[in-house]
Amino acid sequence: MEQLLKVLENCRLKHLQRWLDTSANWSHRLSPGEQQRLAFARAILDPPGCAVPG
């Protein structure tokens, strides 16, 4: 959990910490920039075999 919180902070998503256990349609709640940063945070936490920047 500590690593997750650090990654959220580094990706400027710390404000999402209070919603970690919430299920929602995040494409309607997050800005496009937040969605990009969240995808980057996910890649840091669970790196894919191959990542291609878009």
Q: What is the pLDDT of residues 19-43, one digit of tens each?
A: 989 998 988 999 999 999 999 999 9
Q: Is residue 8 within 8 Å of 14, Cβ to Cβ? A: yes
Q: Which of 52, 47, 40 shows the shortest CA–CA distance to 11?
A: 40
Whether the per-residue pLDDT at 44 is higher than 80: the answer is yes
CA distances from 39 to 22, 26, 33, 52 (A): 17, 12, 10, 12
Q: Say what the pLDDT of residue 26 is.
A: 86
Q: pLDDT band for 47, please (50, 70, 90 cuts).
A: confident
CA distances from 25 to 12, 48, 51, 53 (A): 20, 23, 24, 24
